[in-house]
Structure 1
Amino acid sequence: MGLWLRKQERLDLDRLLPSLQHWFDSDQGRELLEQQRIMLDERLSFVFGYHCAHIGIADASQLLASCRIGHRFTICPTASARCGQRQIRCDYNDWAVADRSLDAVIVHHALDFCLQPQQLLREASRCVIPGGKVMILGFNPFSGINLLNRCFPRSRQPLSAGRYLSSHRIQDWLQLLGYSVDEVCYGAFFPLTGKPSLQRIEQRVTQLAGRWKLPLGGFYLIQATRDERVVTPVRPRWRVPRKRLVSGAVVERNSRRS
């Protein structure tokens, strides 16, 4: 009970990023990343455009291999992390990207481990064009992964160092930022073991849970679209009467003389 209630000092994303990338290189991390990649591939195949940004833990080459957008780059806050060749080195709370210049933004567990998730999501939404996509991958707080993190925080490092946000809270933030949520799906319903012999059971459990739409998976994927608000000018019904240069009486007299 003491470990459950003990408050730990939270670290920012730039300090946790190397250790988190090391965990995704393990057997359990690769298994989780493969499930997320398959789920992303099904949705990225319908996303088109010119520019796509990625911020998170995994390398963009691992997650965005099937993305049809040609120019892809990573927002990297630290030099000690593995961010790939195409990257922009800047603070995740203040992106060096112009407003409404990106067709899609992929957020991979960045909201789970940053100290200011609202500001990060605000920066990501600011850069997306009207009609563009935002896809967010995050750990589900109502899952077995978070339960293990709470019970065994020391042995579950660095996953236990995060603050997992529910999908409903992120959907509320997106709606306040002018987005409409297209889809919310969950994955990793089976405990991550990293054993190939249990892949068939994991696939079967995932199919049944996806059919029943159970919000109990280890992670979730939220896809949202930025709404394009078009302002239509409304003309007033009343009209200002025009001033006449010649009155009707003068015109009538001239016509009689002729």
Structure 2
Amino acid sequence: MGRWFTKQGRNDLDQLLPSLQHWFDGELGQELLEQQRILIDQSLALVFGYHCAYIGIADAAQLLANSRIGHHFTICPSANARCGIQQVRCDYGQWALADRSVDAVVLHHALDFCLQPQQLLREASRCVIPGGKVILTGFNPYSGMHMLNRCFPRRRQPLSQGRFISARRIQDWLQLLGYSVDEVSYGAFLPLTSKPSLQLLEQRMTHLGRRWHLPLGGFYVIQATREEQVVTPLRPRWRVPRKRLVTGVAVERNSRRRLVE
């Protein structure tokens, strides 16, 4: 029980990217990524615009292949790991982007391994235009995958070095930042395994979990929209008299003049 509550030193996302990408290149990582790609494609199906920012572990060109947004770029502070598409060099807590400059932001497990997840989410929300989307993927702390990470931290490297945040807390953060949560989807309801006998059971459990919207999957995908702040003008209580173009007196004078002439 001592290992359960011990606080271990954590590295930032930039330092963990090479090992995390190596894990996602494996068999279990590709299986998990395929399940996530299906849910992310469903979230990006109705997202339109010009620019999309991405921070994550998987290759952005592969994960955002079906996106309708034309321009994609990755935010990464250094070149420690491959970023695939166009890259913007800046810190995770201070983006080199103007306010309301992108149409969508996709965060693929960025909050799970970032040392300052609230600051990262704040910067992502700042750069999205009103009506834009934030789509983020995270590991569920209330799942069997997280239990294995806590019980066997050395065997579950590098996933055990993350700090998994619940979907409910992420929704609270988004609402404080002025976002409305559109949808929350879960996947991987059983721990990933390479045994063919358990893969069929895992597919059935995933189908039932998505059908009944059970919040017990290994990961979640949250889609949120930035609400547009509409200013309602205040009307004065007094009534301003309207100006009349033609009055009865003016018409009467003109008629009299014509009669005299």
TM-score by length of 2: 0.89
Partner of 2:168: 168
Supply the distance in 2 between the matched residues of 1:30 and 1:135 (Cα, whole angstroms). 20
Instruction: State how 1:76-155 maps to structure 2 within 5 Å.
Output: 76-155=76-155
Instruction: State how 1:13-28 maps to structure 2 within 5 Å.
Output: 13-28=13-28
Deviation per residue, 1:217-255 (Å, 9 max, x gap)? 0000110000001102112112589xxxxxxxxxxxxxx
CA contact (8 A) 2:61 2:85 kept: no
Shift of 1:160: 0.6
Q: Partner letter of residue 167 of structure 1?
A: A
Supply the distance in 2 between the matched residues of 1:43 and 1:16 (Cα, whole angstroms). 27
Shift of 1:6: 2.3
Matched, 1:212 2:220: no
Aligned residues: 241
CA contact (8 A) 1:131 1:226 kept: yes
Aligned identity (percent) is 76
Supply the distance in 2 between the matched residues of 1:35 and 1:105 (Cα, whole angstroms). 20
SS at match of 1:229: coil
Shift of 1:2: 2.6
In structure 1, the gaps of 5 or more residues are 242-258
Supply the distance in 1 between the matched residues of 2:17 and 2:51 (Cα, whole angstroms). 24
Q: Partner letter of residue 180 of structure 1?
A: S
Supply the distance in 2 between the matched residues of 1:93 and 1:167 (Cα, whole angstroms). 21
Shift of 1:30: 0.6
Shift of 1:79: 0.9
Supply the distance in 1 between the matched residues of 2:200 and 2:11 (Cα, whole angstroms). 37
Q: Partner letter of residue 160 of structure 2?
A: S
Shift of 1:195: 4.7
Shift of 1:61: 1.2
Supply the distance in 2 between the matched residues of 1:220 and 1:50 (Cα, whole angstroms). 26
Shift of 1:194: 3.5
Partner of 1:42: 42
Shift of 1:5: 2.5
Q: Partner letter of residue 11 of structure 1?
A: N
